[in-house]
Structure 1
Amino acid sequence: MFDGKLFECFNKLSSLTLFDISSNRFTGVILPSVIANLKSLKYIDFSHNKFEGSFSFSSFSSNKNLEVVAFINENDTLTVETEEPIGWTPMFRLKVLILSNCNLNRQKGSVVPGFLLHQNELQELDMSHNSLKGQFPNWLIKNNTMLEVLSLRNNSFGGKFSLAFYTNRNTQKLDVSDNDIIGDIPRDIQKYLPHITRLNLSRNSLHGVIPSSVGDLSLLEHLDLSHNALSGEVPIELFTNLPNLEILKLSNNTFHGEVLSRNLNWYNIDRLHLDSNSFTGKIGSETSDEIIAITSTGRISLLDISNNLFTGLVPVWISDLPYMRELVIRNNSLGGSFSCGTAPFTFLDISKNYFSGPIPSCLNFQGLKHLHLSSNKFTGPIPGSFWNLSNALTLDIGDNHLSGRIPEFLGELSNLRILILRKNNFSNSIPNELCKLTNASLIDLSNNFLSGSIPSCLRNITGPSYKVFMRTTEFNPSAVESVYSSVLESWYIRKPKNEALQTQDEVMFTTKTLSLPYKGDILDIMSGLDLSCNKLTGEIPEELGLLSQIRVLNLSHNMLSGPIPKNLSNLANIESLDLSVGALVSVLCLYSVTL
């Protein structure tokens, strides 16, 4: 937690070989005079501080012993310039260079640092998140035959993805995601990346098919081709020839075919993302050998096949996978009943399908945090086993044919942030116990047959005090962290970064008559209460004016009467207020409220 500016007297430490001030709160401008005299310096890490202004990389030019430079910036107030003075020549030979999110050469047109032309011993190079422009810098890999890790993620490099320039076979991790690269995936990719373990080509404009030669990358562990314009069928070799493959992400392309209907050797896969394509057919087969093999040896913890055209039943063994934590099969044409099982789900989304019958009550609810069953054909009451959803943050069972009373025990789910019960056949009154959901941010009970008065104790729902809907960290196959193990031993070692890969939560909520999706961390600030289209009577409780955090309040299409409470003028954050189609007889001015 050190803060303040770097003391200029650091430049007196002429014998210093390691200078690591990362993960502090240092501020101000980094003066060249702090660096210039450190002639013995080999390792420097200024990452994760709050520096500002402009820093000239040429300050290191005379540090001939320099091997490792790490500079991961966390704000937009710092610019690293490498092109001034023009023509400077480095005396160092770097092995590791990490300049991430540093606004590299912003004043010079965001060009690739020219001093890299003089570097040919690099083993790791990370220039991600810098908006660098121009053609893909093939020469970086050609000049550095020992390069193992290259991350150019989130820049503006264009042109085709070509590997004909490779003259080395040491590359293990390559991330060129989030750029403007076009063209096909090279058909002879295995010739140039024989030892690749992590390959991320996502969020570009690649088109064509996945060549079957990708199945010859025998050491591949992580493959991300998502968010491109790739098409065709997925080569069977991806599932049969890659024994080390743990993460496969093909989301948001235009793939088709019955990818899951075949006999697949996917027992080593940990995370499989096939969402937002045009896949068809059934999920797996029901042969006894396959069921035994998958449930006994399968390692899969995440399966996302949402937004496709899958049909048929969900295999019974899905709910018994021993490591399955996240199952997302939203928006397909799957039907029948959903089988019970022992899978330790934390995220289960089977919404927008044709599942019918009672809601399965014998699932393992203990660890569930997000449960989405909406837009199906479930019937009957809310099962009593929902009482076990003690860790749940999201419960969405709207748009079904459920009936009966809203159970009082739902109020005991103290962690609940989102409760969606809309468009069912629930009747009787709104239980006062729901007022115990003090952390809730979205409650939708609309389009039911609820009667009685609006509980005044809803004022207790003050909203969340801390955030839980974190934005998903995208899969980053080249994510490594360089650290020194010992000053007297190795100068740096590589270890994988811990990255959040959890599925983003998403719910539909009506605002200003529009049903809109709210996804990810926006759910931490969105707040609404929708009781519309019921048979509620009586007056609007004045206490609703205490819901200071609320953005959407919809009480329309009920049989409410009496005056509109003046206290509603206290709803300082309100964006949408709907009291229409009722029996209200007096309207007071809603001071300071913009509708």
Structure 2
Amino acid sequence: MTSLQVLDASSNQLIGNISPGLCELVLLRLNADLSHLNLSGQFPNWLLENNTNLETLLLANNSLFGSFRMPIHSHQNLAILDVSNNFFQGHIPVEIGTYLPVLMGLNLSRNAFNGSIPSSFADMKMLGRLDISHNQLTGEIPERMATGCFSLEILALSNNSLQGHIFSKKFSLTNLMTLQLDGNKFAGEIPESLSKCYLLEGLYLSDNHLTGEIPRWLGNLSALEDIIMPNNNLGGPIPIEFCQLDSLKILDLSNNSIFGTLPSCLSPGSIEQLHLSKNKIEGRLESIIHDSPYLVTLDLSYNSLHGSIPNRIDRLPKLNYLLLANNYIEGEIPVQLCHLKEVREGHHEAVAPTPSGSPMGKEETVQFTTKNMSYYYQGRILTSMSGIDLSCNKLTGEIPTQIGYLTRIHALNLSHNNLTGTIPTTFSNLKQIESLDLSYNLLHGKIPSQLTVLNTLAVFTVAYNNLSGKIPDRVTQFSTFEEDSYAGNPFLCGWPLSKSCNDSGLSAVTREAYTDNEEDNLIPEDSMVDGLGISLDGGQN
């Protein structure tokens, strides 16, 4: 088969071992019905030895196992090799760069490779795309690789156990467009050597041990679309130079030690996601929220923001996720919040919160948490999701009845505030809602019986309010809610509570009998400290 140039046997289902004696049968089967071929067994390195003109070999998503063996002689034509998502183990051959010197694309991801990264990658002078993510690699990034692989545009080392500083001062990867180093053990500061990467579009450094301040020179990399660096130990303020990033779509700095106020100009016209939760950011909320035509996610939870929710919140026409929990926000919930077009009308063209510049299939995960239960949503499902979390603030006034017309909302958390009035009967319109948390407020009146039509409701709590009367009939989803959903409301009655209702549908415990305790706060003070909310960064409340 010396004329063979392309062999694609990826993502199929036929079980069996491929051997040189079956070469003609395999190729015949390939031509006949590619959709039913699957390879198992060890890596067929004879394909490289017997087919010296082979330029592309795609064996991804199969059942290959064992060690990854090189051909006997150097292969001078193979440009693309993809063996991702198999069961290879052991070391990546130290001489891989010598035997495959003209590779332009190499994907070894999602296997069980261990050991260190071979420095011989530097011998692949034309290597433009290298993905060895999701393995068990250890050690540091070889300095020879950081200087020799000058053609690299995409480097993915995510989800290994790599450590040390990211790059030394000797650095020649100035053509990088995507750098994925998340999910490792890298330490130290973000290296200044990256300031030479003027083509960089995606920088993914989450879940490491990085320290130091966020570099100001990142604002000079005008091609940046994704800056994703949550779950580190980064400090300092967000540089004002970030206002220059006109192409920025995703900024995720959550769960760090960032402090100070946000630059007032930090609202690039193209931004889709802003994740800044679990930091030490201060300032007034009104000065942060600007007109952003493409903003899908705004997560400012777990900071020290104050002020009120601005009336211009409805100038965010694409907003699907508003997460402001655990701040010091006060005032009333503006009725303009109920005008959010994407949450109200349910257009399907909403942008899913996934990194747009990530060619390796990386996806953001949304975590909704309430009542100590977490729900995870990822990928395309997020296009049909939305959520609002205003919990653990100082909001006052009544819940706007218009919130009941946010028909596309899946999670609503208004808990741990000082909201008054009654539960709007319009909540019966929230046909897609899965989690509704109104606990720890000052709500009174009855729980609307109309809420029993909410067939998607999985989590419901109105605990620790001043509600009274009979609990809605235990039908549909309400048959699954137990006593803790209603605790702390002494005038509620009916199953699952132990208090029975009288003929008028009222609790046997009268308000007169409760007069002696009127001075008591129905909401325990310590409950305001550790509220439950909705987060996007995988954090546990």
TM-score range, shorter chain: 0.7 to 0.9
Distance 1:502 1:141 in 2: 28
> Deviation of residue 96 (structure 1)?
4.4
Change in CA separation of 1:299 and 1:219 when aligned onto 2, cut-off 3 Å: same
Letter in 1 for 2:455: A
> Deviation of residue 115 (structure 1)?
8.0
1:410 and 2:313 matched: yes
Larger strand share, 1 or 2: 1
User: Quick one: which of 360, 366, 381 aligns to 1:522?
Assistant: 381
Distance 1:591 1:465 in 2: 31
1:238 and 2:169 matched: no
> Deviation of residue 525 (structure 1)?
4.1
Letter in 2 for 1:589: D
% identical equivalent positions? 37
- Alignment RMSD, CA only? 3.0
User: Which residue of 1 is the match for residue 82 of structure 2?
Assistant: 175
User: Quick one: which of 106, 118, 127 aligns to 2:24?
Assistant: 118
Distance 1:389 1:187 in 2: 49
Distance 1:140 1:502 in 2: 28
1:323 and 2:223 matched: yes
1:556 and 2:439 matched: yes
Aligned partners of 2:143 and 2:167 also within 8 Å: no
Change in CA separation of 1:561 and 1:120 when aligned onto 2, cut-off 3 Å: closer
Aligned partners of 2:7 and 2:56 also within 8 Å: no
Which consecutive unaligned segments of at least 5 residues does structure 1 have? 1-66, 68-91, 441-460, 476-499
Letter in 2 for 1:563: K
> Deviation of residue 137 (structure 1)?
1.9
User: Quick one: which of 369, 373, 384 aligns to 1:510?
Assistant: 369
Distance 1:267 1:405 in 2: 44
User: Which residue of 1 is the match for residue 269 of structure 2?
Assistant: 366
1:588 and 2:472 matched: yes
User: Quick one: which of 449, 452, 457 aligns to 1:566?
Assistant: 449
1:90-133 Cα distance to aligned partner (Å, 9 max, x none): xx986545455443x3xxx34449885138999x9997996532
User: Which residue of 2 is the match for residue 376 of structure 1?
Assistant: 279
1:535 and 2:439 matched: no
* Structure 1 residue matching 2:260: 3-state secondary structure: strand
User: Which residue of 1 is the match for residue 397 of structure 2?
Assistant: none
Aligned partners of 1:172 and 1:197 also within 8 Å: yes
Letter in 1 for 2:145: L
User: Quick one: which of 302, 310, 334 aligns to 2:202?
Assistant: 302
Letter in 1 for 2:44: P
* Structure 1 residue matching 2:264: 3-state secondary structure: coil
Distance 2:308 2:3 in 1: 72
User: Quick one: which of 184, 193, 200 aligns to 2:100?
Assistant: 193
* Structure 1 residue matching 2:289: 3-state secondary structure: helix
Distance 2:36 2:354 in 1: 17
Count of residue pairs the alignment pairs up: 449
Distance 2:362 2:46 in 1: 37
> Deviation of residue 511 (structure 1)?
3.7
Change in CA separation of 1:163 and 1:96 when aligned onto 2, cut-off 3 Å: closer
Q: For residues 50-449 of structure 1, what are the structure 2 equivalents within 5 Å?
A: 96-98=6-8, 100-103=10-13, 105=14, 109-112=15-18, 117-118=23-24, 131-166=38-73, 168-260=75-167, 262-285=169-192, 294=196, 298-341=198-241, 342-343=244-245, 344-384=247-287, 386-440=289-343
Change in CA separation of 1:164 and 1:284 when aligned onto 2, cut-off 3 Å: same
User: Which residue of 2 is the match for residue 446 of structure 1?
Assistant: none
Distance 1:149 1:505 in 2: 31
Aligned partners of 1:370 and 1:505 also within 8 Å: no
Aligned partners of 1:270 and 1:299 also within 8 Å: yes
Letter in 2 for 1:332: N
Aligned partners of 1:507 and 1:519 also within 8 Å: yes
1:401-447 Cα distance to aligned partner (Å, 9 max, x none): 1001011112220111111111111011111100011423xxxxxxx
Change in CA separation of 1:261 and 1:332 when aligned onto 2, cut-off 3 Å: farther
Aligned partners of 2:120 and 2:145 also within 8 Å: no
Change in CA separation of 1:466 and 1:324 when aligned onto 2, cut-off 3 Å: closer
Larger helix share, 1 or 2: 2
> Deviation of residue 243 (structure 1)?
1.7
Distance 1:214 1:189 in 2: 7
Higher relative contact order (CA closer than 8 Å, sequence separation 6+): 2
Distance 1:382 1:261 in 2: 40
Letter in 2 for 1:315: P
Change in CA separation of 1:137 and 1:511 when aligned onto 2, cut-off 3 Å: farther
User: Quick one: which of 454, 469, 472 aligns to 2:352?
Assistant: 469
Distance 2:308 2:273 in 1: 22
Range 382-391 or range 128-137, more displaced: 128-137
Distance 1:337 1:129 in 2: 55
Aligned partners of 1:261 and 1:282 also within 8 Å: no
Range 354-363 or range 113-122, more displaced: 113-122
Which consecutive unaligned segments of at least 5 residues does structure 2 have? 386-409, 482-541
Q: TM-score, normalised by structure 2?
A: 0.77
Change in CA separation of 1:115 and 1:555 when aligned onto 2, cut-off 3 Å: farther
> Deviation of residue 325 (structure 1)?
0.8
Aligned partners of 2:272 and 2:353 also within 8 Å: no
Letter in 2 for 1:591: V
Distance 1:186 1:416 in 2: 48
Change in CA separation of 1:135 and 1:102 when aligned onto 2, cut-off 3 Å: closer
